[in-house]
Amino acid sequence: MGNKKQVVYLHGLSSSGQSTTAQRLRRTLAKQEVISPDIPVQPEVALTELKKLASTLRPDAIIVGTSMGGMFAQLFRGFHRILINPSFHTSRHMKEHVGERLPFHNPRLDGAVDFEVADKLVKKYEKLEARQFDPKFGIFGKNPDSPDQVFAFFGTKDDVVNCKDEYLSHYSRSADFEGGHRLDPNSTITLVVPKILEIIGEE
């Protein structure tokens, strides 16, 4: 297998790099280097931080993202990407909570326990979402980008996000799995990890 492969896991909204999925990936992919940053709430800050991260990655790094993290993962042009129940319109969920403070479900490195959903934040996400499939917009690696580098898993019982048709209007590689929006332990072990190892084996 050679040197360790870098696997980046990008969490969903209200989560952190210490999510149970991130921890499970670290345990099951112990022979690889699993990187799971806290994604800043402000999307422009998130893009800046993720661009910095991308500049440190090797060209064969694999980017994995769930929900909102799937949207950010899609933006990693030139890398292999695995999207799980990607939320290409996180702003729609945020709109339902404008004026509220939403809790983080996992510990954050900065110690934050919640964040405010302001109308300005919603508009920032809408602006990013409008450009997310523009090939000239995103987080660029050293390889040329290709639709074949992207694969998505969609839960058949996901009642939170439904972006499958939108995904298939840009990409063709996907599979359904019996599960809801949140990635359960079994799906992580039986679907996501094998797909990561499959990509590693192809390198």
Query: Could you tell me the domains of the chain?
Result: 6-202 (3.40.50.1820)
Write out the chain's pLDDT in tens, 203 residues.
458 999 999 999 999 999 999 999 999 999 999 999 999 999 999 999 999 999 999 999 999 999 999 999 999 999 999 999 999 999 999 999 999 999 999 999 999 999 999 999 999 999 999 999 999 999 999 999 999 999 999 999 999 999 999 999 999 999 999 998 888 888 999 999 999 999 998 65
Ramachandran sector of residue 14 (left: φ over 0; alpha: ψ -120 to 50; beta: rest): left
